């Protein structure tokens, strides 16, 4: 899904678009796998009195991973939640200003996530942190790492959108 309004950025944009769609697809399959785990847990619990051990831990950590895999695609498509009532009623210049402001806020949000999560991610790797007790434990450090990596990717996508919107290479997306 190349954005044709970004003249002169073809290969980079195609790579970013393809990458975000691949990540989105991975998150969809991960969610499907979670559905299978839930189903296994429910059937095992009800029919055989033998639930799937670790369902809670797997799902708790997977939800965060799925979200952060999906975010770059949502941001790139400019499909983040917005109130269009006011946005569609104002001029194109004000829409650009609103978009640029939200992109800056997005950049700041993901920088804050990276800043706040960096030390705990490093510590988690050093300790080989696991969640759960007893028969099933789930490593936490891969999910913490996903959060840092994909927060960085989201920042870069917001910087790209900010540049393209501020320079007029893309128009504000009406709701």
Pair 100, 166: CB distance under 8 Å? yes
Euclidean distance between CA atoms 130 and 114, whole angstroms: 21
User: Do residues 107 and 151 make contact, with C-beta atoms less than 8 angstroms apart?
Assistant: no
Compute the distance between CA of residue 32 and CA of residue 26 in angstroms, rounded to an integer: 10
Give the span between the Cα atoms of 49 and 66, in whole angstroms: 29
CB atoms within 10 A of CB 103: 23
Q: Which of 85, 81, 102 is nearest to 166 (CA)?
A: 102
**Verdict on whether the full-model pTM lies above 0.85:** no
Quote the CA–CA distance of 43 and 49 in Å, as a whole number: 9
Vertex 36, ends 35 and 40: CA angle to 5°? 120
Kindly report the average pLDDT of the chain as a whole number.
87
pLDDT of 156 reads: 94
- Does pLDDT of 9 surpass 70? no
Across residues 137-143, what is the average pLDDT? Answer: 90
pLDDT tens digits, one per residue of 45-54: 999 999 988 8
32, pLDDT greater than 90: yes
* Side-chain half-sphere CA neighbours of 90 within 13 A: 14
């Amino acid at each position: 899904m190349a954005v044709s309004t970004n003249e002169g950025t073809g290969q980079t944009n195609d790579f970013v678009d393809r990458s975000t769609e691949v990540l989105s697809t991975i998150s969809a399959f991960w969610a499907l796998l979670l559905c299978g785990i839930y189903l296994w847990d429910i059937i095992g619990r009800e029919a055989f009195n033998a639930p799937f051990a670790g369902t809670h831990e797997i799902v708790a950590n997977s939800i965060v991973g799925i979200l952060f895999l999906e975010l770059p695609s949502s941001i790139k498509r400019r499909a983040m939640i917005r109130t269009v009532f006011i946005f569609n009623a104002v001029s194109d210049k004000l829409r650009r200003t609103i978009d640029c402001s939200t992109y800056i806020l997005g950049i700041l949000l993901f920088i804050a996530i990276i800043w706040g999560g960096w030390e705990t991610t490093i510590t988690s790797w050093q300790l080989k942190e696991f969640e759960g007790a007893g028969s099933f434990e789930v490593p936490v450090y891969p999910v913490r790492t996903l959060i840092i990596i994909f927060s960085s990717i989201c920042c870069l996508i917001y910087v790209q959108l900010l540049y393209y919107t501020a320079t007029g290479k893309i128009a504000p997306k009406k709701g």
